[in-house]
Amino acid sequence: MAKPNRWAVIEYAGYEGECVVASDFSHWQFAQEYVNNHYDRDEQEDMRVDIAFWDAEQECWSYDH
């Protein structure tokens, strides 16, 4: 399987109200840097911030990485 080439930061990941706040990162590390620069630890937990990649086959954001 080829590595995904589109990553996103998602608030309330997996919950009602899930929201993509930043996307089109070319690598997981760039998305993680965004998270580190925009959320403190408590916000990450409270807002359920997660990083997902675009699964082109299923046409959805996936957290299986």
* Ranges of each domain in the chain: 7-62
Distances (CA, A) of 46 to 2, 8, 23, 28: 33, 18, 21, 21
Share of the chain above pLDDT 70, in %: 94
What's the pLDDT at 64?
84
Asked whether 28 and 53 are in contact (CB, 8 A), the reply is yes
**Region 49-53: what's the mean pLDDT?**
97
1-20 residue pLDDT tens: 555 579 999 999 999 999 99
